[in-house]
A and B are shown apart, each in its own frame.
Chain A
Amino acid sequence: MIYPTLADRIRKNKPVALLTVIDGPNLGATLLTSPNVENIGTLGDQELDRVSSRDALGELEAGRTSVRNYGPSGQVTPEDLQDTPVVRVFVESFSPPPQMLIFGAVDFTAALARVAKVLGYYVVVCDAREVFATHRRFPMADEVLVTWPTPVLTERGPDLGARDAICILTHDPKFDVPAIQGALATSVGYIGVMGSRKTHAKRLERLAEVGVTKSQDLARLMSPIGLDIGSRTPEETAISICAEIIGKRVGRNVPSLANSEGPIHK
């Protein structure tokens, strides 16, 4: 059975692709594929299964969902596809959700974690102070870690990519300097750092003291964090941060506080 396995892999955040014949011979046939395990199901032809599942694993890695055309035995070149019925296969990728790492267990953290969950993020909250970093305060978070940023980013940093986000909400230099250093060592798509323009200026001095001075590194830091929409409450700030993340991800020119001047709150 394909559905129970699909549901199980989606829930366990394991990458999985579902292939469905949406046009041509064996209409409605399905095949399930994941990296390093055997396929389940068939599209009606062994060679078609082999070729289409190989393509699907590539689509899965890129997080793409698309329709692909094959001959009944997996033919892909235009010459081979002449005078033969075309099998249109819908390749649906289920990639693990993007991750958001939030450093600092403050009031803004709960609001940001809530909004991030709405957007489908796997949310990790991290703070070294065990009285603040508790599941009771952040029931919406997928994980609450009582530890310092460096070990977390050393362990998880290599897995972070363009879809992921790191938000540093602590204003404590002991905490935010190593968090920024660790974040810059990853390929994470978004690094937001909370604080007023004054805090940001002081933070840049402290970063310079530990050798973080490269302009391409500093340009990755969205600080002050979020869009210039005059947000006041933790919830409004969370929306402005997530909107900035969306805008950065798709490459839109959004009104980030980091690129504007003047007071954050009007």
Chain B
Amino acid sequence: MREILGDIDRWRAQHKRIAVARVVDIEGSGPRDPGAAMAVNEDGEVCGSVSGGCVEGAVVAEALEILKNDSPGRLVKFGYSDDEAFAVGLTCGGVVHLFIQPLSW
């Protein structure tokens, strides 16, 4: 969170709606520890990261969906499995649990 405060402050000053995604748990090998965070504003601008670049694209889509639907937040899991081999996942074989919510607090 520390490294994305500057961008979030700038977006808040511009009255942009913002969603924050945070790693809350990892199973097995994961690129970033719990607490890793990224933020997405209503225009789709991004700061921070929650993986080694593997799932950020999907997080942006999810975050924009959450902002659009005024959802209170959602737990999202990204991992690797055979039937998801070509879907979004972590190449390192781990599973990452993210909580994505609007920054309404």
Contact = CB atoms under 8 A, between A and B. Distances in A.
A92 B35 contact: yes
A55 to B, nearest CB: 16
Interface stretch (A1-9, A125-133, A180-188, A222-230): A1-9
Contact of B73 (A2, A3, A28, A41): A28
B83 interface: no
Contacts of A3: 8, 12, 103, 105
Given A1-B105, A22-B24, A28-B101, A7 B5 contact: yes
Chain B interface residue bracket vs A: 20 to 34
Contacts of B99: 20, 22, 90
A26 to B, nearest CB: 8
Main secondary structure of the interface of B (DSSP, over half): mixed
A92 B22 contact: yes
B42 interface: no
Contacts of A94: 1-2
Interface in A1-59: 1-3, 6-7, 10-11, 20, 22-23, 27-28, 30, 41
B105 A30 contact: yes
A213 interface: no
B9 interface: yes
A42 to B, nearest CB: 11
Contacts of B105: 1-3, 30, 41
Contacts of B25: 67
Nearest to B3: A120
A65 B33 contact: yes
A154 interface: no
A92 B72 contact: no
Contacts of A10: 1-2, 5
Nearest to A26: B72
Interface in B67-105: 72-73, 75, 99, 101-105
Contacts of B102: 28
Contacts of A22: 24, 73, 75, 99
Contact of A28 (B1, B12, B24, B72): B72
Contacts of A30: 105
A90 B97 CA distance: 11
List the 7 closest A-B pairs by CB distance, nearest first: A28-B72, A28-B73, A2-B105, A22-B99, A65-B35, A30-B105, A90-B24
Interface of A: 1-3, 6-7, 10-11, 20, 22-23, 27-28, 30, 41, 65-67, 90, 92-94, 120
Given A7-B8, A27-B73, A94-B1, 18 more contacts: A1-B105, A2-B105, A3-B103, A7-B5, A10-B1, A10-B2, A20-B22, A20-B101, A22-B24, A22-B75, A22-B99, A28-B72, A28-B101, A30-B105, A41-B105, A90-B22, A90-B99, A92-B22
